[in-house]
Amino acid sequence: MQVPAPFEYERATSVEHAVALLENLGSEARIIAGGHSLLPMMKLRLATPEHLIDIGDLTDLAYIREEGGEVRIGALARHRDVLESDLLAERLPIFADAERVVADPVVRNRGTVGGSLCQADPAEDLSAVCMALGAQLVIRGSGGERVVPMRDFHVGPYETAVGDAEMLLEVRVPLRPDMGSAYEKVERRVGDWAIAAAGVALSFDGGTIAEAGIGLAAVGPGTVHLTRAEDALRGQAPSEELFAQAAKIAGEDCAPTADQRGPVDYKRQLAGELTHRALRRAAARALQQEV
């Protein structure tokens, strides 16, 4: 049986308490909430924190609400909460698309948004969603709060911009006029990590694409931000030809590695195809051609 290395455990009673514990205990302390990202790594001894700080009781961080032209999601919102949110289903359906293919009901009932994002797994679904949406992440430390764009949040595989004495508080997603979003994923079996996945968000001004966001999962050392494909879409009228061009760029600009899930060429082709499908669905939703 695989078991974690020994560690000390303490339950935080507030955000301030959690931050103080992180500051006092140093770099060998880790935050835990649902545990579905960190505990498997601890069992494999890929993570060996000396102290765990449980923030599971901080239910004031488990919200999903619209405020100030944004959707704000607390770090302790669970995957099930995201999947069942009427607000997200109406305004940002990409979240429901992704949550339907996140693991299984057991994980969705316990795992949290913050835990998934802070795991920084290159194949993690919500990271690609947040990249496509241009999300901003709120981080709290003893010196106050700072806001980090999703494109700067992951600094490497399993590495984030959250410092040793900091914790993720909130995800902020800007709402734009005439906006549509979609997520597409291929996996070997239900609930598995992606072979490749693509998240897309489009907003329109009249008949042209005003803003575009594309994030890929599982086809690079981190979540892939497709800036070149986004640039090709902005200011253009939606069409199959345009989407095919952006999809081709997606295949070119990702960096998959060959493994048991498939060779590099297959993953590049799959990334392009999933980007094409997500672009088509996002545009249809924005133009109210799909419920």
Domains recognised in the chain with CATH numbers: 8-54 (3.30.43.10), 62-174 (3.30.465.10), 179-286 (3.30.390.50)
The pair of structure tokens assigned to 4 is 């974690």
More confident residue, 174 or 44: 174
Torsion angle defined by CA atoms of residues 279, 249, 113 and 92, in that order, rounded to the nearest 10 degrees: -20
pLDDT exceeds 90 at position 34: no
pLDDT tier for residue 144 given thresholds of 50, 70 and 90? very high
- Say whether 57 sits in a helix, a strand or coil: coil
Q: What is the mean pLDDT of the chain?
A: 94
pLDDT exceeds 60 at position 222: yes
Tell me what pLDDT residue 190 has: 72
Amino acid at 11: R
Instruction: Supply the pTM of this predicted model.
Output: 0.94
Tell me what pLDDT residue 73 has: 98
Tell me what pLDDT residue 45 has: 86
pLDDT tier for residue 191 given thresholds of 50, 70 and 90? low
Output phi, psi for 20, to 5 deg: -65, -40
Tell me what pLDDT residue 3 has: 85
Output phi, psi for 52, to 5 deg: -115, 130
pLDDT tier for residue 290 given thresholds of 50, 70 and 90? very low
Tell me what pLDDT residue 39 has: 81
pLDDT tier for residue 1 given thresholds of 50, 70 and 90? low
More confident residue, 4 or 165: 165
d(C-alpha 162, C-alpha 81), whole Å: 24
More confident residue, 6 or 234: 234
Q: What does the pLDDT look like over 54-75, one tens digit per residue? A: 999 999 999 999 999 999 999 9
Please compute the mean of the pLDDT values over residues 29-36 and round it to a whole number: 87
pLDDT tier for residue 291 given thresholds of 50, 70 and 90? very low
Percent pLDDT > 90 in the chain is: 83
Q: Strand 51-54 to strand 8-11: parallel, antiparallel, or no bridges (unpaired)?
A: parallel
d(C-alpha 251, C-alpha 234), whole Å: 19
Contact predicate 128/209, CB 8 Å:
no
